[in-house]
A and B are shown apart, each in its own frame.
Chain A
Amino acid sequence: MDSSTRRVYAENFKELKSALSPEDALVEANRCLWCYDAPCAKACPTHIDIPRFIKQIASGNLAGSAKTILEANALGHSCARACPVEVLCEGACVYHEWQERPIEIARLQRRATDALHQNGSRPFEPGPDNGRKAAVVGAGPAGLSCAAYLRRLGFAVTLFDREKTPGGLNTHGIAEYKMTQRVSLDEVKRLLGLGIESRLGKEIGRDIPAEKLLADFDAVFLGCGLGATRKLGIPGEGLRGVWDALSFIRFVKERNLKPLGKSRVTVVLGGGNTAVDTVTQSKRTGAERVILAYRRGREDMGAYDFEVELAKSDGAEFLWNAAPTKILGKTKVEGIEFCRTQIRQGRVVAIPGSKFKLACDRVVKAVGQEKNRSLAESLGLKTDSDGRLKADPETLGTSNPKVFAGGDAVNGGAEVVNAAADGKRAAWAIWRYLNPGLPPPPGNDYWVSTIEGRLVAPIPERGGRGHHG
């Protein structure tokens, strides 16, 4: 890395949310009220017992706290940084009802898992060998989570990923100022330490036929995420200087800015979180002007408000109701042509005669990812009209009883924590599929109880005494 790149990262890619000092963590942990049937834990897709891990921090039991987190969420270390907590746990904190700042759950979570990672201890051991083999396709959050819980249940697990570096989008997609690649890789290392056999750089369907998995393993989990960025289908898409968001972000995350070249004016196409991440990262890697252009209006943007605010505070510009019609240039991008749009009955309609041009030297497409259809096709699995794998919400079983699926491949693109929750759910379902009626081996009860959320010994309706009869 040259010195100017190093400076860019030191200055512009500092973590947005820093670690809490031990003292601040104690103060913050003591603010937690320890709500009963806590709304934060309900809002967490993995149902971490949040009040419990916070009280463990308050009582100086960091190791226990990390365990509480990682029991419910194998990816709790990266989730502490990657999760959009404003709309999840922290958004549900009762302090909001009080017009007060919610508990900083994510930073407390990070305090506990950082400590665990620092001292390198292993929170869990694999379960005793149960004689069954499971294949997991995709070393992203869904696959890693499933593989980790399968190991705890005693399965022999082989994890495949076509990439040489594991972690999926957790490693290649999450904005570097939220979470560095290092964090994801550290977490992967801890999870693989459970005795998961990883076969990286192996694409199922190309290097290994998908059908072979069905023959060689007792069960298969598909956590293959989504496919490449969608095509625009307009002239000029092949010009130099046209990027797809995932490749662009991947270079940024790998701290390899050379291939991206310099940009005076970057136009980012799209309205979701990936588009907004791309805008912020373009700004922070030195583009002078960055314009986000979206076919619809502000109100239809899928991106979270706090992400949009971040991009705004970085000086990004926004162009609403503008659909690209042509990318201009001879060999290299020189500009882009848009037409104005209107939304009628929810549909985007071009306004005739409204075309206009904008000079720019880089265009990044962030218009969503394609569905990953090839595996579904070769395994003969049902998908919905959108191309998402169909899976039973309770077991995540697909139309083939041996095959389970979760994460982006099923939900069409959500968050790391949803993928982690899916992996956990599927691991338990795989156990039940292969061992109907059998309880999990010792040491697995707790995480299993978190799948639907824990409420131990619920109180009878309308209080207890005198109300039973």
Chain B
Amino acid sequence: MADLSTDCAGIKSPNPFWLASAPPTNSGEQIMRAFDYGWGGAVWKTLGFDPPVINATSRYGAITIGGLKMAGFNNIELITDRPLEDNLREVAQVKKRYPKNAVIVSLMVPCEKKAWHEIVERSVDAGADGLELNFGCPHGMSERGMGAAVGQVPDYVKMVTEYVKEKSTVPVLVKLTPNITDVRYSARAARAGGADGVSLINTINSIMGVDLETMRPKFSVGGLAAHGGYCGPAVKPIALHMLSSIATDPETRGLPMSGIGGISNWADAAEFMLLGASSVQLCTAVMHYGYRIIEELTSGLSDWMDGKGFKKVSDFVGMTAPSIVGWKKLNLHHKTVSRIHPEKCIGCQLCYIACNDTAHQCIAVDRKNGSRVPYVIEEDCVGCNLCSLVCPVEGCITMEEVKTGKQPLTWEQYTAAGMAGYGEVYKRMHS
């Protein structure tokens, strides 16, 4: 059996699965129960100074897509609403009973050196294995100059990270907000400030919808709604992009990462890890099904690693990151075409209508022979994948590589070679 233990930015845990800082990590009692189930670590629900915040009711909203509940989830919750003293006492209790599990304390206080020094000192004293700086919370706290209000300004990110590093004796992760145009700037700032790693993504600004009966916002607080943070399965590709952009940025390459955003099962987690995360954090999936999902997470990951011959987590963390490149490095001479396997086709003709209405009009049906099975007019196929994506039957439409006999050619090479044959207009625009 594969060794699932991991080291993320110097924080060690028996497996890479951490509970993200959120309601599942509200209290010591909950976290201990989660550790009993097998969770590797927990990022404590973000701590701040007293008096504790006052939360609004209601707090959560979700969208159902095609019957899948909680496909996207949103909240307007603030940081912990419990006194700092209680939380820190419980941190110490948890650490005492679960020395091997990682307890990371998430922090958010006003942008003053003194404030950060004090809370860092008290958290480390309580026994935290690591700290996570919450520069991501997009609602409520940002209006008070904290959370995303810090995370959106690289200079603040660097400054606060420096305050923390001055005091902390344990590793420091900076939790990044996705509510920016280019996450690399925040990651570079965190590294410049001395962060041991970054965790991402926090939640995305969102409004969950409008009730068409009352014309009021859905999931409102007495008829009014504020934007909240969006997470859950729907956000995963956005998180993967941000993660990989940090993994491939020359300035941050190698910076340890804790991956977050829409992870529902072991396979999602493995994808984050292949793109560079040495630990992963989950929130929505746990809020949907409870701590018990850890059993499926660890066994699934372990079986997959065994199947692939990976002995330990570091054998594959970041393995796929180099394959994420800029568009200009893609081979323009690479060609695939669609192939419909008639023996598997059920005749729904979804590929047919999709290609004809919205792609390249190269799927046809021979109505004369009465068959419902479409076929591909290969010379016109641009290999866009759409047909294979809409096809409900696994393996019925495959995309197959066609040898063109041409040398590989990237856009970069093409432009460098003077763009032979390319439009004059384009050349003028770029000369």
Q: Of A58, A94, A462, which one neighbours B364 at CB under 8 angstroms?
A: A462
Binds A, one of B8-16, B227-235, B353-361: B353-361
List the A residue with the shortest CB-CB distance to B377: A463
Least distance between A33 CB and chain B CB atoms (Å): 5
A94 to B364, CA, bound (A): 18
A35 to B391, CA, bound (A): 10
Instruction: Tell me whether A464 and B346 are in contact (CB under 8 A).
Output: no
A466 to B364, CA, bound (A): 12
Contacts of B356 in A (CB 8 A): 459, 463-464
A34 at the A/B interface (Cβ < 8 Å)?
A: yes
A20 at the A/B interface (Cβ < 8 Å)?
A: no
A372 at the A/B interface (Cβ < 8 Å)?
A: no
Instruction: Tell me whether B347 and A39 are in contact (CB under 8 A).
Output: yes
Instruction: Tell me whether B346 and A463 are in contact (CB under 8 A).
Output: no
- Which A-B residue pairs are the 8 nearest by beta carbons? A464-B361, A36-B353, A465-B361, A97-B346, A36-B349, A30-B67, A35-B348, A94-B346
Contacts of B66 in A (CB 8 A): 30, 58
A462 to B356, CA, bound (A): 10
Instruction: Tell me whether A463 and B393 are in contact (CB under 8 A).
Output: no
A27 at the A/B interface (Cβ < 8 Å)?
A: yes
The A46-97 residues at the B interface (CB cut-off 8 A) are 58, 94-95, 97
B85 at the A/B interface (Cβ < 8 Å)?
A: no
Instruction: Tell me whether B349 and A95 are in contact (CB under 8 A).
Output: no
A42 to B357, CA, bound (A): 21
Instruction: Tell me whether B349 and A35 are in contact (CB under 8 A).
Output: yes
Name A residues whose Cβ lies closer than 8 Å to a Cβ of B: 26-27, 30, 33-37, 39, 58, 94-95, 97-98, 459, 461-467
Contacts of B350 in A (CB 8 A): 33-36
Chain B window 341-380, contacts with chain A (Cβ cutoff 8 Å), 1 for yes, 0 for no:
0000111111011011100111110010000100001001
A39 to B345, CA, bound (A): 14
A127 to B200, CA, bound (A): 61
A270 to B357, CA, bound (A): 53
A30 to B67, CA, bound (A): 7
A463 to B355, CA, bound (A): 9
Sampled A-B contacts (12; CB under 8 Å): A27-B67, A36-B348, A37-B349, A39-B347, A39-B372, A463-B355, A463-B361, A463-B364, A465-B362, A467-B361, A467-B364, A467-B377
Q: Of B345, B346, B360, which one neighbours A465 at CB under 8 angstroms?
A: B360
Least distance between A117 CB and chain B CB atoms (Å): 22
Instruction: Tell me whether B67 and A94 are in contact (CB under 8 A).
Output: no
Chain B window 6-38, contacts with chain A (Cβ cutoff 8 Å), 1 for yes, 0 for no:
000000000000000000000000000000000
Instruction: Tell me whether B362 and A33 are in contact (CB under 8 A).
Output: no
Instruction: Tell me whether B348 and A33 are in contact (CB under 8 A).
Output: yes
Instruction: Tell me whether A94 and B348 are in contact (CB under 8 A).
Output: yes
A462 to B370, CA, bound (A): 14
A30 to B360, CA, bound (A): 28
Instruction: Tell me whether A461 and B364 are in contact (CB under 8 A).
Output: yes
Least distance between B355 CB and chain A CB atoms (Å): 7
B322 at the A/B interface (Cβ < 8 Å)?
A: no
Least distance between A354 CB and chain B CB atoms (Å): 46
Least distance between A103 CB and chain B CB atoms (Å): 11
A13 to B262, CA, bound (A): 50
Contacts of A464 in B (CB 8 A): 356, 361
Contacts of B346 in A (CB 8 A): 94-95, 97-98
Instruction: Tell me whether A97 and B364 are in contact (CB under 8 A).
Output: no
A30 to B356, CA, bound (A): 24
List the A residue with the shortest CB-CB distance to B355: A463
Least distance between B179 CB and chain A CB atoms (Å): 30
B309 at the A/B interface (Cβ < 8 Å)?
A: no
Contacts of B361 in A (CB 8 A): 459, 463-467
List the B residue with the shortest CB-CB distance to A464: B361
Least distance between B132 CB and chain A CB atoms (Å): 38
A94 to B357, CA, bound (A): 22
B392 at the A/B interface (Cβ < 8 Å)?
A: yes
Contacts of B67 in A (CB 8 A): 26-27, 30, 58
A465 to B66, CA, bound (A): 33
List the A residue with the shortest CB-CB distance to B379: A466
List the A residue with the shortest CB-CB distance to B393: A98
A307 to B360, CA, bound (A): 48
Contacts of A463 in B (CB 8 A): 355-356, 361-364, 377, 380
The B259-297 residues at the A interface (CB cut-off 8 A) are none
A461 to B364, CA, bound (A): 7
List the A residue with the shortest CB-CB distance to B345: A97
Chain B window 193-223, contacts with chain A (Cβ cutoff 8 Å), 1 for yes, 0 for no:
0000000000000000000000000000000
Instruction: Tell me whether A462 and B377 are in contact (CB under 8 A).
Output: yes
Contacts of B355 in A (CB 8 A): 463
Least distance between A160 CB and chain B CB atoms (Å): 43
Least distance between A5 CB and chain B CB atoms (Å): 43
A39 to B370, CA, bound (A): 12
Q: Of B352, B360, B364, B392, which one neighbours A33 at CB under 8 angstroms?
A: B392
A35 to B348, CA, bound (A): 4
Contacts of B348 in A (CB 8 A): 33, 35-36, 94
A133 to B346, CA, bound (A): 48
Contacts of A459 in B (CB 8 A): 352-353, 356-357, 361
Contacts of B362 in A (CB 8 A): 463, 465
Please give 19 more A-B residue pairs, beta carbons under 8 A apart, in addition to A33-B348, A36-B348, A459-B357. A27-B67, A30-B67, A33-B392, A36-B350, A36-B353, A39-B372, A94-B346, A97-B345, A459-B352, A459-B361, A462-B364, A463-B361, A463-B364, A463-B377, A464-B356, A465-B360, A465-B362, A466-B380, A467-B364
Least distance between A275 CB and chain B CB atoms (Å): 34
Least distance between A330 CB and chain B CB atoms (Å): 61
Contacts of A462 in B (CB 8 A): 364, 377
A360 to B7, CA, bound (A): 86
A462 to B345, CA, bound (A): 18
Least distance between B65 CB and chain A CB atoms (Å): 9
A459 to B361, CA, bound (A): 9
List the B residue with the shortest CB-CB distance to A51: B348
Instruction: Tell me whether B380 and A465 are in contact (CB under 8 A).
Output: yes
Instruction: Tell me whether A94 and B377 are in contact (CB under 8 A).
Output: no
Contacts of B377 in A (CB 8 A): 462-463, 467
Least distance between A293 CB and chain B CB atoms (Å): 40
Least distance between A394 CB and chain B CB atoms (Å): 21
Least distance between B349 CB and chain A CB atoms (Å): 4
A459 to B35, CA, bound (A): 59
A35 to B346, CA, bound (A): 10
Q: A30-B67, A459-B356 are in contact. Are A97 and B363 (CB under 8 A)?
A: no
Least distance between B45 CB and chain A CB atoms (Å): 33
A95 to B310, CA, bound (A): 39
Contacts of B393 in A (CB 8 A): 98
List the B residue with the shortest CB-CB distance to A27: B67
A26 to B65, CA, bound (A): 11
A466 to B356, CA, bound (A): 12
List the B residue with the shortest CB-CB distance to A94: B346
Q: A26-B67, A463-B362, A465-B360 are in contact. Are A94 and B380 (CB under 8 A)?
A: no
A462 to B353, CA, bound (A): 12
A95 to B349, CA, bound (A): 13
Contacts of A97 in B (CB 8 A): 345-347
A74 to B349, CA, bound (A): 29
